[in-house]
Amino acid sequence: MINDPQNKEIKNMVMKKFLKVFASCNRALHNLNKDEIRKTIGDLDFVKDNLEEVQFILKDIVFTNEERKNEIIKNQNKM
């Protein structure tokens, strides 16, 4: 599903977002240990927003591929 060059770029972008998410989770844990609750909340908001964005991107890839498969099936059925 993530084989063509454009999707590989998307995959790399998603991987970078995951790295940012993990770094923010780590920061949130450190801030929580230091009793810096407001900073922890900010880091967790960043995590939530980025995970929602990753989920949206991945759902878009799946939806696009499903549409392609359906078109191929329709074209094969017409023959």
Q: In order along the chain (79 residues), what is the average pLDDT of each group of 10 residues?
A: 71 92 96 97 96 90 74 72
Distances (CA, A) of 33 to 29, 30, 39, 40, 76: 6, 5, 11, 9, 60
Give me the helices (H) in 4-36, please.
5-33
pTM of the model as a whole: 0.69
Domain span holding position 41: 5-78
pLDDT score for 79? 66
How many domains does the structure of the chain reveal? 1
**Looking at residue 18, what is its pLDDT?**
93
